[in-house]
Each structure stands twice: as C-alpha cells, then as structure tokens.
Structure 1
Amino acid sequence: MKVLVFVFLLFSAISVQSQINLDSLQQVLIKTKVDRTSLLHYSAQMQAMAPNETDASHIIGEWVIKNADADSLRQIQATAHFILGKIYTAVLDFEQATHFLTTALSIAEKNNFYMIEAESLNTLGTIYERNEQNEKAVEYYRKSLAISQTNSYIRGAAIAEFNVGNTLLKTQRENSNTRRYAINLMLQSYNTVNKLKDTQSIIAQSSALGYAYTVLKNYDSATIILENAEKLIRSAGKEAGYIRHYTRVAKLYNDKKKYKQAIKSYESGLAVAKRFQIPRWLCMCYSGLAETYENMGDYKKANQFNQLNIRMHDALVSKENFIAAADIQNRYERSKKDNEILKLAADNRQRSTLNKFLIGASFGLLLISFLGYLNFQNRNKIAKQQEEIQRQKIRQLEKDKQLVSIDAMLKGQEEERSRIAKDLHDGLGGLLSGTKLSFMNVRETTRLSSESAKQFDRSLSMLDNTIGDLRKVAQNLMPEALVKFGLHEALRDFCDTVETSSGTKLFYQQYGARKLGNTAEVFIYRIIQELINNVIKHSDASQIIVQLTMDLNKTRITVEDNGKGFDKNILTQTKGAGMANINYRVQYFNGTIDIVSAESNGTSVNIELKV
C-alpha cells in the first residue's frame, strides 16, 4: 500500500487549468471534504502543474500537508513535501526546495518509506550538483542508490546510478578509467529505464547522455540520442520540464560549427523559457545565443543578447535564493547534536533524582546495618561515575556542535568568495566584454581619422586592462588553478605571482603527494595565502620559504622568512582577522600552530593538520 500511494502520485498526469485563480483555489480547498481520496487527488493535481504555477502548487501542497497529519496518512504528507521539493528544484528556488525535501526525508526515514527516501536523497544530490558541490552530490546519489538496491527499487537505483556516472564524468573526464566507468554506469541505467518504459527518465537521461557524448566529441552518438529525446519530449508534451535539452542540442551544433541550427535550438528553448518566465532558463538561452553569434562573427547581435543576459542576470541575483555550501548537511548535524544534548540533559536530571532517592534510602539503611551503608556508598560511587560520563559526553557534543558551526562559517566564506568571483566574471565581466564587442563593432563599421583611430585604440587598450584587472580580482577571490589543477599547482602559481609583483624571492617546496578533499585543499591554500601576505605586508623580508609536507594521515605547513621578526606577545594583545581565520582553519582539522620569531631574526610558522 505504501508503494502504491507514492507510485500513483509520482506518475499521475492530470490536465489542470493553466493560471489557476489563487483566491478561487483557496475557497475550493476550504469547502473540500478532507479524506484519503481528496488528498490523493490534489497531490496528483499539484504534481501535474506547470513550472509557472508554483504559487498554486504551494497552496495545494500546504493544504495536503496540513490535512494529512495522521499516522494513517503520513505517506501522503511525506509525498506532498517531496513533490513541492521537486517543483522548487525545477524552478531553482533551492532554499524552499531544501526545506521541503529534508522534511520529506525525515518523515520517510522514520516510517520506512524507502521510495520517498531514495527520491528525496537523489533530488538533494541534484541541488548540491547545481551548486557545484560535486563530492556531496555523489555522496547523496550513492545513499539513494544503496537504499534503492536494498529495497529492490529498480527505478530509483537506475536514476541514482545514472546521476553518479554523470557527475563523475563531468568532474573527472580527463581520467580514462573514471571516464569508462562513468559512461558504463550511465548506459547501464539508460538501458534499465528503457526496459521499464519510464518515459520521464528516458527523456532526462537521453538528453544528459547526449550532452556527455558531445563533451567527449562523439558527435554521431550524441546526435542519435538527442534526436530520440526530442521526439519523446514532443510526443509527451513535456517541453516545460526539459528546457535544458534545447541548450544541449545547441551545444552539439556549436561544437560541429553548425551555427544556424544552434541558433534555432536556442530560440526554441527561449520560446519555452519566455512562456513560463523562469529567469535562469532565460539567462541560459540569452548567453548561448550571444556566444553563437560571436562565433559567427556577428558582434552586433552577440552584444544584443549579451546585454539581455546581463539584465536578466542582475534581476536573478536580487531575486533568486541560493543555499550555502554545506547547509543541507549542517541542518541535520546541528539538529541531531541539539537533540542528543537535550536527551542527555534529561537523562542527567533523572539520574540526579535517583541519586537523591538513594542518598535518603542509604541514611535509613544505616540504622539497620553497616552492610546497607556500604551498599549505598557503592551505588553512589557508580552513579557519580555515570553522571561524569554523561557530562563528558555533553561537553564533547557541544564541542562537535561548535566545530559544525565553524565548518559552516568557513565554508560559507568560501562559497561567498566563489559567488562574488562568479558574479564579477559573469556579471561585470560580461558587461565589459559586451562593451568591448560594441567598440569593435563601431571600429569595423565607422571610418575614423588617424588621430581619432589612435585615441579609439588607446581607449580599447584601457578597456582590455580593466578586464584584466577584473579577472585578477576574481582570481584572488577563488583561484581558477585551485579548481582546475589542484592544490600544488595553485600554490606554485600563487607564489610565482607574489614573487613577480613584490620582488620578494619565494621558494615553494612540496614533499609527498596525496589527494585531499575540496574543503581541505581550499583551507590549506587560504592558510598559506594569509601567511605569505602577512610576510609581504609586515616583515620587510627579501626571501620566503614555503614547505608543504603530506604524510599518510597528517599535513605539515612551514612558512619561514628572513625579515625583521616581531614580539610574539603582540599576537595576544591584538585580534587581527587574518590570524583569527588561520586559527579557525587549524582548529577545524584538530591541528596545532607554532610560531618562532624574534626581532631582527626572521619568523618561522609551523602548522600541523590532521588531514
């Protein structure tokens, strides 16, 4: 029965009137008799609504959630949470999506609704992937896969398996073994959903698989699969749910230099995006059209679509809600820690009451016999030991909670740096690039005197310098080398840049090579970056030595200079933001920091991290 309810709601397709009058809808719901049939009916209606009807979907969803608050209706309630989460994910409102999906997941875990649990984990993985948190995305996809396989949920396993392969291919396609493994996962899943005749999954996976073949330059396979996907989309009447398909087809045509067909695909996608007024979809189409026209050499049209993209992007930044990097996980961790602390505190109160009773009973037993007294002493000692153990557990949990908060703060800083860097690159960078295109268009179409041409070229050169400076700022906020090539190349590039700009000689030495997680690499990069910047600003050093040593379970950082040194007592008297951030990052990895310095004798900073 549990499975039937979810399957019914997941695959229901009910024709609904577009642009539902919200006031009328609320009045209808108020008058509706609440029973299992009406709850299932409105859940299915919510599932079938178009992307631009999120307000109506939300009203129906909240009505179902409120009226399904009984144990016998709990699966309908969880399904309503899941459907709303899927709807908000589709329109890229990740804050609302996360709220409903995590609630659906919590209910599903408690009641063993394994299909809802698997689908919720898979969709949360999609949110992580859209926010470029690919490691967390794969983690959630694998959790969904494990639950689906344990419960023989074939469709859920196929979708999760495909998403794992797609994410691995996107992030590690340079590795031939990983590439083959990822493609095999995707093809295996694709064959499974075809056997199940799951049209919705076939369309989504055909489109994604076609895009993967395009990126791998296997254009023949990409063409066959994408054409099949388009036929299914049109026959199913599901254009609204597959806007990304048009951009993927356009990408294929762009790579094959068939620019007219690429423009036609982007325009098809743009028509759907305008019909449903989803800002992110509009940005995707405007940006693609600008790039295609630039490839064709039509700078005027490229500039027009670039300007439309910039305006829509600015509106999107002010309107759209993005989640923090680790927010989903941190919500769960903080909630679990708080619940454990409250439970242990309650246990302590119970034990304290028991101790009082034992003490009173012991005094009574003293009048009877000395043995009773000894027994009391023994019990009291045991109770105190247990109480101390409970207090230690509480202290440890509070410490873990602080670490979770520090984790969220530091990851939030890095996410904000990354977001600002992207906004600079995509927003202001796009605006400046568009301006340059306009200048070039004027240069090609206007005859200028010799003197005016020189002034025009100087202006164009100044614009190039401005674009270069903007890229340097974005690079400093989130180094491109760190994302593309890893920690060691990023540090080497940073040291070379500082040496060139400051005139200070830098020696970067690396001992051992070990792949770390994204968080560890970013934190180590920021620690070394802050230490080098402090030397450049304050020490008057002519030489800096940077050493990064990676053992099996530890990472050591050493930064030495031959500058003027300083009195270490100054660190306890001042609270600089730079050293505070270094200490937070060291504490996050349970590390230690040792500073050796004296005036006129240089400085040596030694850090050991347990990572």
Structure 2
Amino acid sequence: MQSGTRKIVQIIFTLIFLHAFTVSRAQLLEDSLRQVLAQRNIPLAQRLETMDRLGQVVFFNTGWEEGLDILRQSISLAAGMKDGQYRAHTYAMLAMSYNIMGDAPASQLYLDSAIWYVKRSSSKLMKGYVLYCKGWLESRAHKEPQAIQTFQQALDQLEGVHEALKYQQSIYTELTGVYFHWYDLVNVEKYTRLSLQAANQTGRLSDLISANQVRGSYFINLYRNDNTQKLALDSGLYYMRHSLQLAMNNRERLVTPSDIPFAAISIANIFLENFPSTHPYTDSIDHYNDIALKESKLTRQYVVEAGVYNTLSTMCFSKGDYDAAINYANGAIAVSAQDPLFDKFNLSQSFLILAEAYEKKADTALALHNYKQYMNLYKELFDAEKMNKSKELEARYEVAKKEKALLEIRLVAEQRNRELIQARWLSAQKDQALLVARFAASEKDKALLQAKFETEQQQQALTMANYKTVKREQELKAMEETMQHNRRLQRIYSALAIALFLAAIFFYYAYKQRTKTLLQAKQLHEMEVDKMKQEHRISNLSAMLEGQEQERTRLARDLHDGLGGLLSGVKIQLSGLTPMVKEAPQQAIVGKTLHHLDNAVDELRRIAKSMMPEVLLSYGLGEATKEYCNGLQNSGIPVTCQVYKYKNDMDHGRQVTLYRIMQELVNNAVKHAQASQILVQLQQSGDRIFLTVEDDGKGFDIAAINKLHGAGLANIRSRVEMLKGKMDLQSSEGAGSSFTIECSIKQ
C-alpha cells in the first residue's frame, strides 16, 4: 500500500511539473511563431509575447540553450518599455527554466529580477503570474508552507482579473500537489475540484488532461484510505480513463505528448493494486501497459518505460517465469541508465526483483550482488524520505501555528466589533432625538416656503407670456435652419448610399474568396483523413500478415518436428517387423504400408516447406524462388525461373511477403490459366526489386475480375500495398496474362 501511494504521488508531481509549461510538440507551432516575428509592423508588446512563447517552445522541443537565447533577446528588446510587466514575465520564465536545468542560484537571481520589475507595473495579472512562479520554485525546494502562502497571494491578485483563469487553474493544480504530498485529502478534494472547474471553463486540452488525472488520483487515494468506498474506485478509473481518452483522441493537438504514457501507466497500476489477478483484469493491465510502453518509447519518458518493465517483471515472477522476470528487470535498469534524472525507487525495485529471481534460480552470487545494489539505493531513499518527513512535519507545525494565530486575531476583531455595535446603538438613540427637533423646525420652514411659492407662481405667469412671444420668433428661425439642414443631410445620405453599395460589393467579393479558401481547406483535410485511414489499414494488414506468417512458421515446425517424427517412428517400428514376416502376402502388405508412410513423410515435408521454406530463411528470396519453381518442374508443371542481379539485401519480412505474392500468382496460373509455359522472373536494379509472373494461358477480362472482388487477387494487392509497391497487370482473354510487381528493398 505504501508503494502504491508513493507511485501515485510521484506521478502527480510529474504531471504537475509537465503542466507548468504547456508547449506544443508540433514543428508547425514553432514555424508559425517565427513567421509572426518575421513581420516588421507588429506592435512591440505582441512581438515580446511571441518571442517569450517561441523561447518556451524551443526550450522544450529543440534545445535548452537555444530557447534561453531567445528569452534573453526578448529581455534586451523590452529594455525600451516603461511598463515592467514584459521583463518581469520573461525573467520569471528564465527562473523556472534554470530550475529545470538544476541551476538553483541562477534561478533565484532571475526570480529576484522578475519581482523587481513587476513592482514597476500596475498589471495585477502579471503580479499574480510572478507570485505563481515564486510559489512553483518554493514547492520544488520543499518549502511547502511558503509555497502555500505565495499561491494564496497569487490567487488574491488574480481575483476578478480578465484572462486570469489559466493561471488560477495552474495554481489549483500546484496546491493539489502540495496537499497530495501531505496526504491532506480534504484540501486535495477542494483543489482538484477547483482545478477541474477552471479547466472546463478554459477548454484548453492540456488543462483538461491534467485536471482529470489529479481528480482521478484523489478518488483512488480516497478508496485506498477506505476500501469499502467502491464508488470512489469507479470514479477514479472514470477520470483517469477520460484523461487518457482526451489525450489519445487529440494526439496532434497535445501540448505535452508524455500525457499518454503517464495516464496509461497510472491506470495499469490501479488495476494491478486494486483488482484480483484474474481475467479480464489481467487483460486490462496488459492493455494499458502496452500503451504506456509504446508511448513512453515515442516520447522518451524513461521513468514510465522502466515502471512498465518492473510491472511486467513482477507479474512474470509471480507466475514462476524467472527468466522472463530477469529479462524485464534488466530492461528496466537499462532504461533507467538512459535517464539523467532516473527514479531511484524504480531502480531499487528492479534490483530487488533480480535478487529474488536469481535466488529462486539458486544463483546466490548474482542474487547477493543485486541485493546489495537494492540495499544501497534503499538506504539513499530511506535517508531522503526521512529528511522529507521531518521537513513535512515541521511545515505542518508552522501551518498549524499560523492558523492558530489567525483564529486569535479573528476572536479579538470580533470582540471589537461587538463594542463598536453597542457604541453605534447609543449614538443612534441621540440621533433620533435630534431628528425630532429638526422635524418641528422643518414644519415652520415649510409654511414660510408655501407663501413664497404662491408669490413666485404669479411672477412665473407673467414670464410665461413673454416666453411664448419669444418662442414663436425662435420657431420661425428654427424652421428656416431645419430646411437648410435637411438639404445638407440629403447630400450626406446620397454619399453614404454610394459608399454602402461599394462596401457591399467588397464584402461579397471577400465572402466568395473566403468560401473558396474554406472549400480548399476542407478538401485538404479530407485528403489528410483519407491518408490516415490508408496508413491505418496498411498497419492492420501488416499485423495480420505478420501473424499469419508466424502461425505458418509454427505450424510448419510442429508438422515437421511433431508429426514427421511420429511417422518416422512408425516406419522404423514396421521395418523391424519385416524379418519376422515369412509369408509373401503379409510381406507385400508391410511393403505397401512402408511405401505409404514414405509418401506421407514426403507430403508432410512438402507441406511444411510450402508453409515456410527453410531455404527462404537461410539463403533468401532468390534461392527460395528457384527451389519453389524447380519443385513444380519436378512435379510436371512447366515453370521457368530466372533470377538476375539479386543481392539478398532485402528486409526479411519484405522477402516473405514477396515470396507469398509469387506463390499466389504461380498457383493461380497453375489452377486457372491452363498454360503450357509459366515464367517467373526476379530482378534487382539498385534498391528496386521487380517480380514478373507470366503465362501463355487462356487469360481473363481485367474489368470483370475487378468487379468480382476475388480473395486471391485482393490478397495480392493488399500485400503489394503493404510493401508500398506497384503492380502492373496485363491480360486479355485468349492471350495469357502478365503480373509485374515493383517495390523497394526497404520500408
């Protein structure tokens, strides 16, 4: 259980580390950013933002030094900007980058620069981002209390700020990692929920993948804490599988391609730790381990690859297959050796499995050697974990002490509030008495104002009569001005109508151009989809044909070694009876039986050789083709074989595929063509192979054959397509047929 918890925490921290820098692996992103920078008229603020993003992409996909150079150029370019937010952003990115490279002094130096410049900016968004970077560095320096405080300050800065949600989601994920390390499931639930809500609002793929993974990890740990909560286990599997499905369905849009192997190995470990070792759970473990192994090799995630090998080694050990367990454990050690930041826990488990496997095989020397390696690593891990545990307890104590002080401050503030409320009530009583006195005075003032109002009413009546006279004169003048204004408006409206007509023509032309562009983009997308379907079909076909060849090889070996040996044994036993049989009829029966057994052995060898000829395995396609044609000639079939300049440097799998095509074509000619002569020609020119099978038989109508969709011709075409070759078919009724296959010697 402790080992499972340790794996979950390691995976969570790795996911958070990958989530902190979301960059695209596609070369297309880097090219598009460079195209933006190549424009001369873009604003400086946009240029700086683009350079920072390009430096980030190059750092994680091309090379550290090149990415750092781009970020330094961005700082130099931002020297003329008065607002310090641009240099603060770049310095914060440099601080995190140097931390990844393991240069802690340089990382702290750049963080100090970011803090200095962000103080010279009014951007709350950038202040929140710099605080997030500071907390990110503190959490990786095992300063969890400071990191939590810094993250809370960052959230306060980002509250209510436009476009702050992406940073808030990252902070929630970081807080999840800290509380996972402390195994504080209450806070883990809170921040995984907030992280998932923020990811759903941003809609960014990388946010959704990481948020679903950490949410699933919370439910798995909840189940591990209480095994009766089966619903928590189901919820954990749901979120983990959803995260993996998101990553696999959007492979081309992944910002961190390692999301797939990390999600797959997490699901495999969940099945391994929490479900019985029975079908179909073992199938699920194998399925997700296969995905993790394949994707970790593609993305060079050595820690995942080593973890899969260790899991497979443990499963083989439990089944008693110690040789396979040793091979997988050695594979895990070899993978860990390629990782400059290898996982000591995975490596220690590899040595432990080797020690136990060699002990079962009674090889005490190797068992002792590997056990010593395991103990050395275990001691290092134990010392490190003991130190981290003490730091964790100290950190929890500091957090508890601060929470206690905060509660005391709140209690004092509440007492002061009560005193203030009482003082305000007494003041309100006095104010009420004063208001009563003011009301009486206002009543007297009201009577005086009424008298003044009546006098003013009379004056207003006289003023109104004068106003009406003046108003009539103004109305006449206004009517004249209105007529002049209307004439000016008519001229303006005419000009606007002409402008609107020209704008309508322009927008119609733009709409037509956009429609044409969208149609071209749609056609290009459909072509790409068709290409992907074609490649998928070829991949499936390759796997199917490879399985058929393996099955043929196995059947040929079993027939030759098993049934052939049995028939030979029967023949030897019957031959031993020959001297004992005296009568002629009985001797004739025994002789016929021995003759039939010889024929059966010959037929068995012919079938085994046809399924997988040894000469193809030993001497290559050229000699196998000659032997096959010579065998047909010996059986009375008119076949001529010609091999020119064949160097036998073709991949073995491609040789087997081409051999099967030749077999199928010759068999078709023998069965259907009624030919008096069949020609098989194999020729190599440079790196190209040409296979020609011709006959002078009755031929066929190519169009009619294509409509029938026969299995034989379909199999030939499928194999040619798998070789990425070309097939030329020439035939007509009564004029024979000619098949020419052209392909490369390599994939």
Q: How does the TM-score come out when normalised to structure 1?
A: 0.47
Q: How does the TM-score come out when normalised to structure 2?
A: 0.39
**Structure with max Cα Rg:** 2
